[in-house]
Structure 1
């Protein structure tokens, strides 16, 4: 008997996200998706989705099936965690079959995985912390990097390093979401 495990978690926010640059970004993307960079298009898609689905599976086949089910259910932004077996092959196949979906790789900890994610067709990648090598690698407008941060200092450091979106680890020990 084979045990299969799939975990699908959702990160939600009120859509669209409030942003000082949102009106400029929305206006430029509304007028022409062709003139916006791939990174800006991904930001726009994430902003308007209201959710990033995070997928973790214990096999490539299961990840592919679960991703297709999530997409069929209306998910337009999907992150597959790098520890999922065959993550880059799954991502490459999904990118071919669903070119309008914002597909990303999560828990990217090194430049090697960042390059593999980009080459497989990821539109974004996420890390649990600010990883300088990855931040330097993604300075082009081709792929969005979303580093994680817990403290206000880490969030500011990510922003100052060029992050357009930061994954906030808001924990109750730091006063919770209300403090943010």
Structure 2
């Protein structure tokens, strides 16, 4: 900042700096609620996992929380929450195991990565891209049951290129091998009959 004017904003903060302010009140109940980091991540559109929620009947439950920007604001001018309970089936550990992420090899780093994603952060990980190691930011996409990948400059990358071979791909490869085997058998059978 020079002479009261901003002359530089870092790349990862530009979108948030230049977008209009998003008013939202986060309430605390007896010291329980969202941490300031979780609240900031919610404002930025990411999901946060909460283990200390109570239903109206007083039953405890766990859920991924996300601000719903598609609905109207409530009477206090706050966005409502979209919840994805455990019944929705988003297991961050299982999702992480579906991708070729180098940090998942070390159990301590894997646990730290999982905790970071549960709090709504966008951690930097190492993945293999075009045969070389590349650094990418990841974030949860709970609604779609996936992870989103972003380059260090903030531009999105296709998640499919970082996935391990899926069961469908393995099934297709197996079917292709079977077809080739049948064609080979037919060709050999025709050669014998001639």
Answer whether TM exceeds 0.5 for this pair: no
Identify the structure with the greater strand proportion.
2
Identify the structure with the greater helix proportion.
1
Q: TM-score, normalised by structure 2?
A: 0.22
